[in-house]
Chains A and B, each alone.
Chain A
Amino acid sequence: MKRKPELFKKVLVANRGEIAVRVSRALKEMGIECVCVYSEADRLSSHIAFADEAYSIGPAPATQSYLNIERIIETAKKSGCQAVHPGYGFLAESHEFARACEDQGIVFIGPGSKSIEQMGFKTQARKIMKGSGVPVIPGGEEPLSDEAEAITLAEKFGYPVIIKASAGGGGKGMRIVRAAGEMKSAFKTARNEAESAFGNPAIYIEKYIDRPRHIEVQILADNYGSMVYLGERECSIQRRYQKLIEESPSPAIDAKKRKLLGETALKAAEAAGYRNAGTVEFILDQSGRFYFLEVNTRLQVEHPVTELTTGIDLVKEQIRIASGFPLGIKQKDIKPEGSAIECRIYAEDPSNDFLPSLGKISRLRNPAGPWVRMENYVYEGYDVPVYYDPLIAKLITWGQTRPEALARMSRALEEYVIEGIETTIPFHIWVIRDENFRKGDFSTSYIDEHYTGKPTDEHRKVPSDVALIAAAINRVESTAVPKKGSTGTTNRWKDTSRREGVS
C-alpha cells in the first residue's frame, strides 16, 4: 500500500493479556491513541486500564470475541482507528483478517495478507524456501490424506517422524511417532487438535531430528525492500513445543554462524516478499547444520530479549514501518550487546506435568531492580480466566555476560511471589540453577531428559529446616490468614496458643 509516511493517530489492539499491555505502552510512548477490545470474561483484565478507549466485543470464548474478525473491524472503524495491531496469537497470523483490514482501508500492522497466507501454510512455505535455496528438513509437503500414507512416508524418511498441523504453530497438533504402531493414535489426536485450534484438520509429516536446538532470527523489513536481521534467539527450553525460556545470543552460535543464519533468514524473508517484523525459525542439529522450520509472521512472545540486546523497540518499529516509514537502521549499525534471557510465567503446575492451574491470585509481588523487565497483566485479586492462554507474565533480565544475566534472573525469580495459583516460577528457578543449562548444554529434549517436577536438594538453596519452622509456626499459631486492616496478631497468638496449649 502506498501512503505518505505519517504516524497513525489511533490504533486498535486486537488482543488481550500481557501483549495488549505491551503494545499499548508503545502506542502511548509514540503519542498514538490506543483502543482496546475485551470479551465478557475480560472486563477486569488490566489491558483495559492501559488503553485510552475500550470496546466490548462479545462473549468469553475467543471464537466469539478475539477471533471475531467482523466485530473487530467494525470496532476499528467505529472508533476511528487507522490501523490494527494484532499482537501474537488470536488473529495475528490470520490472512483472512489481514485481508479484511486491507479491504476496509485499515492498516494491518504486520506483513501483507499474501505473505501470511503463504507462510502460514507450512507445506507451501517449505516449497518456497526449498526453491530459494534455504535448507529444509526432509518431509512430505502435501497434507496427509490418511494414516496409511503417513506410514508409507515415515518408512521412506526413517523413524522417528513428526506430524504437524499445516495451518498451525505453537505445538498444537504436533506428535512425534517413533514406530508404526504409534501412528494411529498420533494421527487422530494431531488432526483433532489441528481442527480445534486452527479450524483446519490438515496435517503433514517430516523427518524428526533428535535432540535439536531451536534457534530463530528476528528480522525487520520495510515497505521499500530494505531488510535487517537482529541476531538470534535460542528457544530450546520447551515442553510440548511450547517455549518456556528464551535467550539471546544462543550459547551454541558463534559470530560466523550468526552471520550465516542472519543472511539465510533474509533470503527466506525475501522469498516470501516479507515486510514488517518477522521471525525465521530454524532447527540446529547436533552437528551444527541448520534447517528452515517456519516463518512466524508476527511479533513473537520472546521479542523482549532481542530488544534488550539491540536496544531496538520492535513494536515501535512495527508501527513505524506500517505507517510507511523506511527502516531507519542499517545492518552494519546493529551490534547486539550482552546477554538477555526471558522466563515465561505460565499458570501451570510444573510439579504436576504442567497442568493448567486456575484461580484467584491471592498475593503478588513482582520482581524489580537493575536490568529486570516485567511484561505482565495480572494483579493481586485477579482471577485467571479459563478461556485463554495460561501465559500470565514474562520476566526478562539483561547482563553484560550470560552468567550475569542468569544471576539476575535467579535473583529476580527469588523475589517473585505469586500465591493462589501454581506457576512455572519453581521450574525456572530449577533450570537457572541447573549445571547443564548453565553450561549451555541442552536441546529441545532438555525438560524430558532432566526435569522431574521435583526439585532435588542440589538445586535448593533454602534449608528444609526453615520450611519446617514456617510450617510449625503456622500450625501452632493459626491457619487463619489475617484480613487487611486486622490488628489481631497478639490476640490470635493468645487464642491459638490457648487451643494448642502454648502460652
Chain B
Amino acid sequence: MEGYVKKGRRVVIYYASINGRDAKIKIEKKNDMYTIEIDDRSYVVDRQHLEGSGALSLVVDNKCYEASVTRSDGALLVCISGEKFEVTLKDELEYRSASPSARHTGLESEEIRAPMPGVVVCVEVEEGQRVSAGTAAVIVEAMKMQNEISAPAGGTVKQILVREGDVVDSRQVLVVIDRG
C-alpha cells in the first residue's frame, strides 16, 4: 500500500528521474482535480482521458497539453507535442530497496541482439574470435538497408546463433560474446 493519510486524504509519493534529473513527486486528488507537487513547485492539474485513444488531456495551471504514456522496460515513455521523455518512477518501497550497488551487474557475457526484424545477410565473426567493442558481427537487412550489428563490448565470440539467410526477430540473440 502506497502513500499516507494527510488531513483525511491519501497522498502518494514517487521518486522520479527524467533526463538525468531526479525529482520527488507528491500526488493528491481533491474534487476531481489533482494537486501535484514536484520538488518545491505545486501544480493544479485537470486531466481527462481522450476516449478510445489512451491519451491524456492535461490542463496544468491552465496550460494545455496532450500526453501519451506507454510502458517500456520499467520506464514510462511520455510523448507531448512530438517531444519524447523517458521517466522512471519509484514508490517509497521501490526507492528504498533499490540501492545503487544492486544495479551493478558483473556480467560475464554480452549478447548481441537484432535491433529490428530482418534477414541475416552475413555473419562476420567466427566462434573463438577476439573482438573489440564496435567490431561488426552480423549484417542484417531490413527494409532494403543493410545494417551492421556490432559488438557492444570486447571479448571472445562464445556462440553464434544465426546463419546467413535466417529471418530474425527484434531483440533476438545473434551472437554471444564472452567478456573474460
Cβ of A502 and Cβ of B146 under 8 Å apart? no
Could you mark each residue 82-124 of chain B with 1 if its beta carbon is under 8 Å from any beta carbon of chain A, else 0? 1111010100000000000000000000000001111001100
> With contacts A482-B51, A500-B12 known, is A469 near B23, CB below 8 A?
no
Could you mark each residue 180-204 of chain A with 1 if its beta carbon is under 8 Å from any beta carbon of chain B, else 0? 0000010001001100110000000
Cβ of B34 and Cβ of A473 under 8 Å apart? yes
19 contacts between A and B (CB under 8 A): A185-B136, A192-B122, A196-B146, A355-B147, A356-B118, A416-B82, A419-B70, A429-B82, A464-B85, A465-B41, A467-B85, A468-B16, A468-B18, A470-B69, A471-B78, A472-B25, A476-B12, A502-B11, A502-B27
> With contacts A355-B116, A417-B68, A503-B9 known, is A471 near B51, CB below 8 A?
no
Rounded to whole Å, the gap between the CB of B28 and the closest CB of chain A is 7
Could you mark each residue 456-488 of chain A with 1 if its beta carbon is under 8 Å from any beta carbon of chain B, else 0? 010011101111111111111001011111100
Q: Which residues of B contact A (CB under 8 A)?
A: 1-3, 9-12, 14, 16, 18-19, 21, 23, 25, 27-29, 34, 36, 38, 41, 43, 45, 47, 49, 51-56, 58, 60, 63, 65-71, 76, 78-85, 87, 89, 115-118, 121-122, 136, 139, 141-148, 170
Rounded to whole Å, the gap between the CB of A96 and the closest CB of chain B is 19
Cβ of B52 and Cβ of A466 under 8 Å apart? no
How many Å lie between the Cα of A356 and that of B142 in the bound state?
7
Cβ–Cβ < 8 Å partners of B84 in chain A = 351, 426, 455
Within 8 A of B (CB), among A377-411: 386, 388-390
> With contacts A419-B68, A426-B82, A464-B19 known, is A470 near B58, CB below 8 A?
yes
How many Å lie between the Cα of A485 and that of B49 in the bound state?
12
Rounded to whole Å, the gap between the CB of A258 and the closest CB of chain B is 33
Interface centre among A357, A468, A500, A503 (most CB of B within 10 A): A468
Cβ of A470 and Cβ of B67 under 8 Å apart? yes
Size bracket of the A interface: 35 or more
Cβ–Cβ < 8 Å partners of A457 in chain B = 19
> With contacts A466-B60, A484-B52 known, is A473 near B116, CB below 8 A?
no
Cβ–Cβ < 8 Å partners of A416 in chain B = 82
Cβ of A501 and Cβ of B81 under 8 Å apart? no
Q: Is A435 an interface residue (CB 8 A)?
A: no
Q: Is A172 an interface residue (CB 8 A)?
A: yes
Q: Which of A417, A467, A483 contacts B78 (CB 8 A)?
A: A467
Closest to A363 in B: B53
> With contacts A461-B83, A474-B76, A497-B29 known, is A468 near B10, CB below 8 A?
no
Cβ of B25 and Cβ of A363 under 8 Å apart? no
How many Å lie between the Cα of A497 and that of B12 in the bound state?
10
How many Å lie between the Cα of A196 and that of B49 in the bound state?
47
Please provide the 5 A-B residue pairs with the shortest distance between their CB atoms, ordered closest to farther. Answer: A481-B54, A470-B67, A467-B85, A474-B69, A471-B87
Closest to B34 in A: A473
Cβ of A473 and Cβ of B45 under 8 Å apart? yes
Cβ of B1 and Cβ of A501 under 8 Å apart? yes
Rounded to whole Å, the gap between the CB of B122 and the closest CB of chain A is 7
Q: Is A161 an interface residue (CB 8 A)?
A: no
A389-B144, A484-B52, A500-B3 known; 4 new pairs, CB 8 Å cut-off, are A363-B55, A426-B82, A472-B89, A482-B54
> With contacts A363-B55, A462-B83 known, is A471 near B34, CB below 8 A?
no
B interface: dominant SS = strand
Q: Is A362 an interface residue (CB 8 A)?
A: yes
Cβ–Cβ < 8 Å partners of B12 in chain A = 476, 500-502
Cβ of B68 and Cβ of A469 under 8 Å apart? no
Interface centre among A416, A473, A486, A500 (most CB of B within 10 A): A473
How many Å lie between the Cα of A483 and that of B54 in the bound state?
8
Cβ of A482 and Cβ of B81 under 8 Å apart? no
How many Å lie between the Cα of A468 and that of B18 in the bound state?
8
How many Å lie between the Cα of A484 and that of B50 in the bound state?
10
Rounded to whole Å, the gap between the CB of A453 and the closest CB of chain B is 11
How many Å lie between the Cα of A465 and that of B66 in the bound state?
14
Rounded to whole Å, the gap between the CB of A196 and the closest CB of chain B is 7
Cβ–Cβ < 8 Å partners of A474 in chain B = 56, 69, 76
Within 8 A of B (CB), among A336-387: 351-353, 355-358, 362-363, 386
Cβ of B14 and Cβ of A475 under 8 Å apart? yes
Cβ–Cβ < 8 Å partners of A363 in chain B = 53-55, 68
How many Å lie between the Cα of A413 and that of B80 in the bound state?
11
Q: Is A119 an interface residue (CB 8 A)?
A: no
Q: Is A425 an interface residue (CB 8 A)?
A: yes
Q: Which of A172, A466, A473, A501 contacts B10 (CB 8 A)?
A: A501
Q: Which of A471, A473, A497 contacts B16 (CB 8 A)?
A: A471
Cβ of A414 and Cβ of B10 under 8 Å apart? no
How many Å lie between the Cα of A47 and that of B76 in the bound state?
35
Cβ of A462 and Cβ of B80 under 8 Å apart? yes
How many Å lie between the Cα of A41 and that of B81 in the bound state?
32
Q: Is A28 an interface residue (CB 8 A)?
A: no
How many Å lie between the Cα of A485 and that of B71 in the bound state?
23
Cβ of A193 and Cβ of B3 under 8 Å apart? no
Cβ–Cβ < 8 Å partners of B18 in chain A = 464, 467-468, 471
How many Å lie between the Cα of A416 and that of B14 in the bound state?
31
